[in-house]
Amino acid sequence: MTTTILLQFSMQQVQSFLPMVLIIVVFYFFMIRPQMQKAKDHKKYVQQLKKGDKVITTSGIHGKIVDMNDTTFLIEVESGTKIRFDRSAVSLDASKALIATTKS
């Protein structure tokens, strides 16, 4: 009899924690994991950039990479104007859209 009471008690504990565990699993697969994958893709894209590539910054400035540093890019915008940006300021989505429109 005591074993059945203990078994029922432990099943109630499992049933009370099960929804919380499921919420955490769903949150991980729908929120955290895609964001980590996007950050990984952005880092890979920024590392592959080279001089002469056309990019768009997160602030919307279009330009061509003129010089590169470990942490920054020197981007030429229009008529010789050059602006230095941090590598993280390059927008992956907007730059890929720019490349796709120039190829077609």
- Say yes or no: 55 and 103 in one domain: yes
- Say yes or no: 35 and 2 in one domain: yes
A 10 A CB-CB count for 77 gives 13
Task: State how far the Cα of 51 lies from the Cα of 18, in Å rounded to an integer.
Answer: 53
Q: Which residue has the higher pLDDT, 104 or 39?
A: 39
pTM > 0.85 = no
pLDDT at 35: 92
Beta strand spans in the chain (E): 54-56, 62-68, 72-76, 82-86
**Model confidence pLDDT, tens digit, residues 48-93:** 889 998 888 888 888 999 999 889 999 999 888 999 999 888 887 7
- Say yes or no: 55 and 42 in one domain: no
A 10 A CB-CB count for 57 gives 20
Number of structural domains (the chain) is 2
- Say yes or no: 31 and 55 in one domain: no
Q: Which residue has the higher pLDDT, 20 or 2?
A: 20
Question: What is the rounded average pLDDT for all residues in the chain?
Answer: 83
Please name the residues in contact with 55: beta carbons below 8 A apart, sequence gap of 6 or more.
49, 62, 63, 64, 65, 73, 75, 90, 91, 95, 98
| CATH at 61 | 2.30.30.140
